[in-house]
């Protein structure tokens, strides 16, 4: 099974909560990931920032490789970087299952989306809050995942921008049933229901998980918000 096929298999399991590891305890990275596994998480979200496309700087291929060594969970790698075309193969080799780059970082996303699929990964396209769906409509057919950002990318903990939720209805009109609709930025117990109602399927959460004392409880609270019983939480409670 290719990585792209595995991603679609996970999609068929229903709505997914994706912990954003940007806010985890990197001094205990393996333990943090195993805590996510124990809580029934199926997909991890990895934010790669270069200090150029966005003002923040995080990590690159070595961290993705380290995470892949300790888990078989799907790795959703979000490239918030300039010139993403230089690094698609490297992130695939590091273990990415989904490779998402920003439409704003390239002249035309189509060639890169096709390259990602040719590698065997699922292709993802992110758009900033100010970017319209119409501006990327020609590329949707080559996307396995589209990520409308609900904050300006670069830093966690920002306020949720609810106006972006209208993009999900537009994307559903353009896309077939296999397109994954993801949302990232300000997702918490207060906003997740609005995201579900708008049509999102994968929900990236950072502060709502890693700034809580009890990860399992935080994950259970979020997954209960969209009516999905988290299998790992059920098993350990």
Give the three-state DSSP class for 111.
helix
CA distance linking residue 104 with residue 125, whole number of Å:
10
Catalytic residue among 76, 184, 214, 234: 184
Q: Which of 121, 77, 131, 118 is nearest to 101 (CA)?
A: 77
Of the residues 25, 47, 107, 108, only one is catalytic, namely 47
Is 47 annotated in the active site?
Answer: yes
Instruction: Report the Cα–Cα distance between both ends of the chain, in Å, rounded.
Output: 33
Degrees to nearest 5, angle at CA 13 with 60 and 74 = 15
Displacement of CA 168 from its chain's centroid (Å): 15
Q: Using alpha carbons, select from 19, 2, 120, 133 the residue that is nearest to residue 76.
A: 19
Closest CA to 184 of 79, 64, 57, 70: 79
- 184: annotated active-site residue: yes
Catalytic residues: 47, 184
């Amino acid at each position: 099974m290719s990585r792209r096929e595995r991603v679609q298999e996970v999609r068929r399991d229903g709505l997914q909560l994706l912990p954003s590891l940007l806010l985890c305890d990197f001094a205990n990275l393996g333990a943090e990931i195993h805590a996510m596994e124990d809580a029934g998480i199926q997909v991890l979200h990895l934010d790669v920032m270069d200090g150029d496309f966005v003002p923040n700087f995080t990590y690159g291929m070595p961290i993705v490789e380290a995470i892949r060594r300790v888990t078989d969970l799907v790795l959703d790698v979000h490239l918030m970087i300039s010139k993403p075309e230089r690094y698609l193969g490297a992130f695939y080799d590091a273990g990415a299952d989904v490779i998402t780059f920003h439409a704003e970082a390239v002249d035309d996303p189509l060639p890169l989306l096709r390259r990602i699929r040719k590698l065997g990964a699922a292709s993802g396209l992110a758009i900033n809050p100010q970017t319209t769906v119409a501006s990327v409509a020609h590329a949707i057919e080559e996307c396995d995942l589209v990520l409308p950002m609900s904050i300006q990318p670069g830093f966690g903990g920002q306020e949720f921008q609810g106006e972006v939720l209208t993009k999900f209805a537009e994307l559903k009109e353009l896309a077939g049933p296999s397109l994954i609709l993801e949302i990232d930025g300000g997702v918490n117990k207060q906003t997740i229901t609005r995201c579900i109602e708008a049509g999102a399927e994968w929900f990236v959460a950072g502060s709502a998980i890693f700034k809580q004392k009890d990860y399992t409880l935080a994950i259970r609270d979020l997954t209960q918000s969209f009516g999905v019983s988290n299998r790992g939480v059920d098993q350990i409670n």
